[in-house]
Amino acid sequence: MTISGEWEQVREPLTSAGPVDIIIGLPTCNDAGTAKHVVTSLLSGLGKTCPGTTALLVNVDAGSHDGTPDLVRQVVEEGAPGSPVHHAMVTLQPGALDARAIEESGMPGRTQAFETIFGVAVELDSKACVIVDGNLRSVEPGWMDLLLRPVLDRNADYVSPLFRRPRYDGSLTNSIIYPLSRALYGTRLRYQSGACGLSGKLAKASLAKGFWEDVHARFGVDIALATLAVAEGHEVCQVCLGPKVYEGRRSVGDLSEVLGQAVGAVFHFMETYQDGWEGRTGSKPPAVYGPPYEPGTEMVTIHVERMLKGFRQGLRDLLPIWKVVLPPETLAKILPLGLVEDEEFRFPASLWVQTVYDFALAYHEQALHQEHLVKSLTPLYLGRTASLVLETRDGGPDEVERTIEALCQTFERMKPYLIDRWRFQ
Amino acid sequence: MSELWQEAVLDAFRETTKRVLLLFPKFLALLTFLVLGLVFAWLVRFLFVRILRGIRFDQFCERIGLVPAMAKAGMTQPASYLVGRVSFWVVFILFSFTGIDAMDLPATASLMSAIIGFLPNVLAAALLLLLGLLLANFFADAALIAAVNAQIEEARLIANMIRWAILIFTGAMVLTQLGIAKEIVVSAFSITFGGIVLALSIALGLGGRNVARDLLERRMRHKQASDDDDEDDVSHI
């Protein structure tokens, strides 16, 4: 078992605090605008959900300059209604932060924060752990019940959030990460981030396997955690938390970097868990709690013509690289797409699935430098996303959900294509 | 007179026979070395190819981008085959020179020691060349992918410039290592490199001043417009 170095900062006061049942993890970085609301909501929710239970709020801060840690401490010291809550503050050292790791929340050091919170949970032998991003403006007291109850009452190990997101938001997750992981591990988990609930058992499992030393876990902590849970057969469920609103405009960085880290993590874990996914067929939905899930109706600005331009430039310039990655039959189907007019452009689901599986196989075969390989998928992803928008923009929000579901089923149906080539290529 | 002539002829004949008889074993030694060289070279090539295929060397070269670079240079055979061929010729040439040395000819007296003395330079140059090829491919691919993903029209031009800059630099280093026209190579490289930079500066400063200004203004306007409202608002993850 590894214990995070940051744990040393809070070891002394915490060991004297006695047993703690619940850990509330709060990663922050310059979140004075939302911290008070987030902490108040979580403590209020805790008081209603588990009155009398001892809890510890671990605020892992990545070097705020706006007094966020003091604000959090002040709110905790004012007291939670009904539950004794201890407070622990951990400041991540600048050297510990991985500047390359990209998070949807835009928060630096989130992975290190998770590792620290897990270390504390394991050291104190806590039953459950709830982690919520400190810059989430849409947190409500009810979230605590939704994230904690499945762990405490229904033996869930990983409680994944299900947010109502604007149309086409999370298209990388919906085009690759969710359908591919669902086809591989047989669980229909939507792979979202921002808030989650975990059992002490899962925290222990993650620390026991050198999980945090893995660079792909550090670059995609939510994907890594969800994959660990579904691949190793832990009990998982989803809770509908409503909309997800971050404070301020988020900047997650360059798309190819995002894609490289997220898809690279999924491809990497395919190697780790290959014995687990090869035999699985079909998929099952996990238990879903909370209000019924409904897709978002809001539209985001999305430039289809720019995406198609990126796709066509990829066809023109990246062909020598794609020839190494993709077999001739896949390439022969992709090439004619470059000649289609914008309005008629369609990237068929079956071709997209074949392309993603071919990239996964090339990653497995190490046909190319792995970072180059995954990043060279970006223009193809732009083509598929443009096609999704063109196919569904005149329909309602359910139309997008139906298309995503159809894509997932295609991934599952074509899984033998992957398996046949995985070991014997 | 007749006796003198007879003696001279016989002396010459004896001398030639003696020389031929002395040369014959050396010639046999040369032939033996050549035959042994062929056998050993074939054996080394066979072993190299087998071992390299066993450790999946061809796939490794494909992965690190060496195969496309070699294909561009007209070498389409598998890397293991090429290494086998090179090892064959290295072993055979070493044996051949040993054979020539065994002939004990005044012209080739110090051939072997000169070759062995130069061998480290050849090895260092070969390693430099290999490293240069690998780096050129790696950085050219990285630049190409990054530029395409940033939707820069001149992506291939940028990648090729990076590839050729590294290759030219490598070529200059290899020639310097081999000691071939050392001063000329260094001077030529400095003059060419400096000349290119100077030419670009003058071209941009004089001829393309207005074009550069227009280009920068357009870029700034485009960026400003993008920052204002034109960016995609979608979060991909």
Whether B232 and A318 lie within 8 Å, measured CB to CB: no
Q: What is the pLDDT of residues B32-49, one digit of tens each?
A: 999 999 999 999 999 989
In this complex, is the C-beta atom of B142 within 8 Å of any C-beta atom belonging to chain A?
yes
Q: How confident is the model at residue A373 (pLDDT cuts 50, 70, 90)?
A: very high
Residue A332's Cβ-count burial label (10 Å; 0-12, 13-18, 19+) is exposed
Report the phi/psi class of residue A186: left, alpha or beta, with left for phi > 0 and alpha for psi in -120 to 50: left
Residue A12 above 80 pLDDT?
A: no
pLDDT for the residue B68: 66
Cβ distance A321 to B145 less than 8 Å, yes or no, reads yes
- Number of residue pairs across A and B with CB atoms under 8 Å? 96
3-state secondary structure (DSSP) of residue A184: helix
Rounded average pLDDT over B221-233: 59
Contact by Cβ (8 Å): A245, A136: yes
B contacts of A173 (beta carbons < 8 Å): 236-237
Q: Kindly determine whether residue B231 and residue A301, on different chains, have CB atoms separated by under 8 Å.
A: yes
Residue B231 contacts A, CB cutoff 8 Å: yes
Contact A375 B145 (CB under 8 A): yes
Q: Buried b vs exposed e over A38-76: b needs ≥16 C-beta within 10 Å?
A: bbbbbbbbbbebbeebbbbbbbbbbbbeeebbebbbebb
Mean of the pLDDT values across residues A249-258? Answer: 71
pLDDT band at A81 (very low <50, low <70, confident <90, very high): low
Are residues B68 and A366, on separate chains, in Cβ contact within 8 Å? no
Distance to chain B for A262, nearest Cα, Å: 8
Q: Are A28 and A69 within 8 A, CB to CB?
A: yes
Mutation for testing the A interface, residue in B139, B158, B236 having most A CBs under 10 Å: B236
Residue B236 touches chain A, beta carbons under 8 Å = yes
Q: Which residues of chain B does A306 touch, with a Cβ-Cβ cutoff of 8 Å? A: 151, 232
Contacting residues of A for B232, CB less than 8 Å apart: 300-303, 306
Beta-ladder partners of A164: A243
Count of C-beta atoms within a 10 Å radius of residue B156: 19
Q: Residue type at B69?
A: A
Q: Which residues, in sequence order, are CB contacts of A400 under 8 Å at separation 6+?
A: A167, A168, A295, A388, A392
Q: Percentage of chain A surpassing pLDDT 90?
A: 40
Q: Predicted ipTM?
A: 0.83
Tens digit of each residue's pLDDT (9 = 90 or more) over A49-65:
888 788 888 888 888 88
**Tens digit of each residue's pLDDT (9 = 90 or more) over A291-338:** 887 777 777 778 889 999 999 999 999 998 999 899 999 999 999 998
Query: Contacts of residue B153 in chain A, CB cutoff 8 Å?
Result: 313
Q: What number of residues does chain A have?
A: 425
Q: Evaluate if residue A378 carries a pLDDT over 80.
A: yes
Indicate whether B144 pLDDT > 70. yes
Q: Do B233 and A300 touch (CB under 8 A)?
A: yes
Inter-chain touch B234–A262, beta carbons under 8 Å = no
Does residue A4 have a pLDDT over 60?
no
Decide if pLDDT at A80 tops 70: no
Check whether B72 has a pLDDT greater than 90. Answer: no
Determine, for residues B63 and A256 on separate chains, whether the beta-carbon distance falls below 8 Å: no
Give the single-character DSSP code of A285: P
**Do A258 and B145 lie within an 8 Å CB cutoff?**
no
Which residue did the predictor score with more confidence, A336 or A396? A336
Q: What is the pLDDT of residue A368?
A: 83
B149 interaction partners in chain A (CB closer than 8 Å): 254-256, 310, 375, 378-379
Residue B69's pLDDT band, with cuts at 50, 70 and 90, is: low
Residue of B nearest to A382 (CA): B149
Write down the pLDDT at residue A76: 84
